[in-house]
Structure 1
Amino acid sequence: MFADRLLLKGIGYGVCAGLCWGVIFLGPQLTPGLSGLQFAVIRFLCYGAISAALLMPRWRRVCVNLTMADWKSLFWLSLIGNLIYYSLVGTGVQLVGIATTSLIVGLIPVFVTLAGRNDASAVSLRKLFPSLCCAVGGVVLISWRALINSDRPDTLTNIAGILCATGALVTWSWFAVSNARRLVQVASVSSHDWALLAGLMTGAQSLLLAVPVFGFEAGTHSISEWLDFLWVAAGVALLSSVVGGACWNQASRLLPLALSGQVLVIETLAALVFGFLWEHRLPDKYELAAIALLVTGVVWCLNCHRAPLHFPAA
């Protein structure tokens, strides 16, 4: 029962993270005047500023047990899992839309589950195979639907967008696995503080990129437009990076890697809902079928990870 309680707690944190992260696909659509990289830089500058403000009163206490290896991990996790990943997501969204990008990225649960199949607490791949088939089937179905109904005639633009989304899939799959395994080694740092340290590192990296990325574009937008960009970026940073990052780190500590990968499908579902709201429409029958397959895959995987009940002998 205790194991089931921890499992439910970890799933709850994972669901919260997924809901928060669904917003990241909407941000680039709300700022069409910026490229994917530019919006990523502004978002992570905000994330860095928020993280610095929250860490400042506890800086020495948080950092006292961190080693040089921890800081190196934070550097690469921040660069690949935050800055590069979100630049690719933002560019993909602007080139091929929210639905196509979020559904390609929606294969992350499959990648992460396969990466964690040899962990000590992992369920055998044979038991997970049906849930993985459901998840892949859902993504294939809805991706096929998106391609045959594409209203974007520029083939090169579509290919570039799909390549960006695929790059985002690879980079965040690597991040999910590497971050989960690193968290096991830094037990002295809370999940929330690890997310803030990553924010501080990503903010510093974004600061170095700000001048070459924006160059002489300050005069291309009015002050009111820059303020609008800033508000959107700050909102995404607070909800997705600070809150979502802390929830995900906590879920990573409580759940087996294979299961945490499956919970990530919530991000895809949330992104789809936000995309439908943005487009002012309801999902069609193909999209509903794909969503049903994704949910079935997750529920099946959750059932595989439940601890068996032990009844006392009579």
Structure 2
Amino acid sequence: MPSTNRIILGLLCGMAAGALWGVVFVAPELARPFNGMQLAAGRFLAYGVIAAALITPHWKRLSALIGAKEWWALIVLSLLGNIIYYIFLASAVQFGGVAMTSLVIGFLPVAVTIIGSRDKGAVPFARLAPSLLMSAAGVGLVGWQSLGGTAPGEMKGQLIGLACAFAALGSWTAYAVSNSRWLARLPHVTGQDWSLLTGVVTGALALVIAIPAFLIRPGHFAPDEWMRFIAVVSGMALLASIVGNALWNRMSRLLPLTLVGQMILFETLFALLYGFLWEQRLPTALEYVAMVLVVGSVITCIWAHRPPAQRVIASKTS
């Protein structure tokens, strides 16, 4: 059972990572002329270049710590958590909108926490049930709000967006679980170094998808659109991929997998906040209730992870 200080530090790292990751939900709107594969290729090429520059001074030490199994794991994690995930996420935003995509990705905590509850020594599933129910209710309300008013002519695009969002959900669930377990197996590799190694591999893989992304579907883009594209993908690479991933890896080492899953809710909250700012509107009453439920689910999950003695003391003093 993690200590209270570890939980607090892990919570802060998870919140910061969510704030940075939430930006990627709005980025496709900022560079709308470019499709999801082009955005993924640009973002992760930039991620690879920045990661390679930062990791160069430590390359000799790190290369001695990483074997063939770890390199294969980095390839799989780079595909699941970066390239495949973001191609589907960007497509979902462009077809279905920020709110709908945030809704579906909001189910990540439920999926990851259910998987994590099977780990040895994990918090019993019964103690997690209130948190999971609140999480499901919160994202359900967001879904009702975002999909309920869809016009018949827009239904095809919404369905394509929904399918892409669920594909992104499956890809990132597999990444979150596998990445957390690999970090536990490699205590001699820091979370920051693992993130940079992931970035180098992701950048190399992005070279492969860049060819079909920009040659098969080149498009006709104005100079100002190219400048905006470069600014957007570079910003995502630095803020979300470099800093956000490092914070997430730090958090993954501080918290158990069942609590790691709940931290993904902060990405949903910040994505919704950025979406409201982009659309220049306030949340509706249902969206306010949904966000309260999402925050409540995190708090109840944290409560479930407190040592038994602290839960008893807290209940007696309340």
TM-score, reference length from structure 1: 0.96
Structure 1 position 143, deviation (Å) = 0.2
The secondary structure found in structure 2 opposite 1:153 is helix
Aligned to 2:101: 101
What are the ranges of 5 or more consecutive residues in structure 1 without an aligned counterpart? Answer: none
**CA apart distance, 1:139:** 0.8
For 1:151 and 1:188, locate their aligned partners in 2 and report how far apart those are by CA, in whole Å.
Answer: 54
How far does residue 2 in structure 1 lie from its aligned partner after superposition?
A: 8.0
- 1:236 paired to 2:232: no
Deviation of 1:218 after TM superposition, in Å, equals 5.6
Deviation digits for residues 74-93 of structure 1, max 9, x if unmatched?
00000111000000000000
Distance 1:44 1:249, change over 3 A: same
Asked whether the 8 Å contact 1:152–1:158 carries over to 2, the reply is: no
Counterpart-to-counterpart distance in 1, 2:85 and 2:235: 18
**AA paired with 1:90?**
A
Partner residue in 1 for 2:72: 72
Q: Distance in 2 between matches of 1:165 and 1:219?
A: 24
CA contact (8 A) 2:105 2:168 kept: yes
Distance in 2, matches of 1:54 and 1:86, equals 23
1:1-314 correspondence to structure 2 within 5 Å: 3-150=3-150, 153-215=153-215, 220-309=220-309
Comparing 207-216 with 53-62, which one deviates more in the overlay?
207-216
| SS of residue in 1 equivalent to 2:22 | helix
Distance 1:227 1:56 in 2: 28
What letter matches 1:259 in structure 2? L
TM-score, with structure 2 as normaliser: 0.94
Structure 2: distance between partners of 1:218 and 1:149: 35
- The structural deviation recorded for 1:255 is 0.4
SS at match of 1:60: helix
Contact 2:37 2:209 in 1 (8 A): no
Q: Distance in 1 between matches of 2:306 and 2:150?
A: 41
Conservation of the 8 A alpha-carbon contact between 2:31 and 2:225: no
- Helix, strand or coil for the counterpart of 2:153? coil
Return 20-29 or 219-228, whichever deviates more.
219-228
**Deviation at residue 38 of structure 1 after TM alignment:** 0.7
> Larger deviation: 215-224 or 51-60?
215-224
Once the two structures are superposed, what CA deviation does each residue of 1:255-286 show, in whole Å capped at 9, x if it has no partner?
Answer: 00000101110000000000000000000101
- Following superposition, the deviation at residue 254 of structure 1 comes to 0.9
Deviations 1:83-108 (A, max 9, x none): 00000000000001000001111000
1:297 is matched by which residue type in structure 2?
Answer: S
Relative distance call for 1:15 and 1:24 in structure 2 (3 A) is: same
Distance of 2:168 and 2:59 partners within structure 1: 32
- Alpha-carbon offset, residue 134 of structure 1: 0.4
Is the Cα–Cα contact under 8 Å of residues 13 and 247 in structure 1 kept in the other structure?
A: yes
RMSD in angstroms over aligned alpha carbons? 1.6
Does the aligned pair in 2 maintain the 1:121–1:256 contact within 8 Å? no
After superposition, give the CA deviation of every residue in 1:188-232 in whole Å (9 maximum; x if it has no partner). Answer: 111001001111101000112211110066671133321210111
> Matched residue of 1:26: which SS?
helix
Aligned AA for 1:117? S
CA distance in 2: counterparts of 1:246 and 1:47, whole angstroms:
13
2:89 is paired with a residue of what secondary structure?
Answer: helix
Return the letter of the residue paired with 2:73. Answer: S
- 1:192 is matched by which residue type in structure 2? Q
* Secondary structure, aligned partner of 2:3: helix
Distance 1:219 1:147 in 2: 31
Q: Residue 92 of structure 2 contacts residue 101 of structure 2 at CA under 8 Å; is this kept in 1? A: yes
Contact persistence 2:29–2:94 (CA under 8 A): yes
Mapped partners of 2:295, 2:127: distance in 1? 17
Q: 1:219 to 1:264 in 2, by over 3 A?
A: closer
Q: How many residues align?
A: 311
Amino acid at match of 1:296: G
Is 165-174 or 5-14 further displaced after alignment? 5-14
* 2: CA distance, partners of 1:157 / 1:301: 35
TM-fit CA distance, 1:149: 1.9
Residues 65 and 275 of structure 1: CA distance in aligned 2, closer, same or farther (over 3 Å)? same
Q: Which runs of 4+ in 1 moved over 6 A?
A: none
